[in-house]
Amino acid sequence: MKISLTDAGKRFNRDWIFRHLHYEFESGQSYAIIGPNGSGKSTLLQVLSGAMQVSEGKIQWIPSSAGAMGNRQLTMGNGQSANEEVYQQISICAPYLELVEEMTLKEFFEFHNGFKSFLPGFTVEKIISLIGLEKAGQKQIRNYSSGMKQRVKLAQAIFSDTPILLLDEPCTNLDLNGIELYNRCIKDYCKNKLIIVSSNDEVEYRFCREKINISEYKMSE
């Protein structure tokens, strides 16, 4: 699946976060959205996910095969919202997204698998083992450390059977072992996905072939 931005801009009140952004994110490629803290990286990622509307221009999600959205292109312009068909094509891991902490890890993954299937051949038990949380599978997530919770967020996104993977500061709260796990999972299980990473830490996006500096799209009225 491809995401296309045409003269896209986003503003809050009178401040433009980015403007006049023309860009195409191609299926099977990896991209990094970079820039200093507060520059708008997360805002752009939320626009790409369909969770946030553009203020001007348009965004399109274009299937690369007949299986995605029935081979139907979807467009969102100013004042329009994305629909369920778009959300089913996207997985996202971000600090502002919460886990259901009253559930055990096993319950949470089973719940998630009910509305967004995991990659073929991946069971809940296999995923829990891959992220090294076998001993905590029956514990409520609220009792997890911040690093363990981040592993859960990453697994939920990486192992979902979607063509688009969006990652916002994906190594937040991870130790060295967690960072190695993150890079290994990206390498082994995300080869055919469109990956977009929002970060100002090269450790999180060093595998990305393309970089978009959001600061280059800061413009006034």
Task: Report domain extents, the chain.
Answer: 2-217
pLDDT tens-digit series, residues 146-164? 999 999 999 999 999 999 9
CA distances from 31 to 148, 175, 196 (A): 26, 23, 5
pTM of the model: 0.92
Mean of pLDDT over the chain:
91
- Residues 13-47 as b/e (b if ≥16 CB within 10 A, e otherwise) read eeebbbbebebebebeebbbbbbeeebbbbbbbbb
pLDDT on residue 84: 76
pLDDT on residue 14: 87
pLDDT tens-digit series, residues 92-147? 999 999 999 999 999 999 999 998 999 999 999 999 999 999 999 999 999 999 99
**What CATH class is the domain 2-217?**
alpha beta
pLDDT on residue 151: 98
Is the confidence at residue 77, as pLDDT, over 90? Answer: no
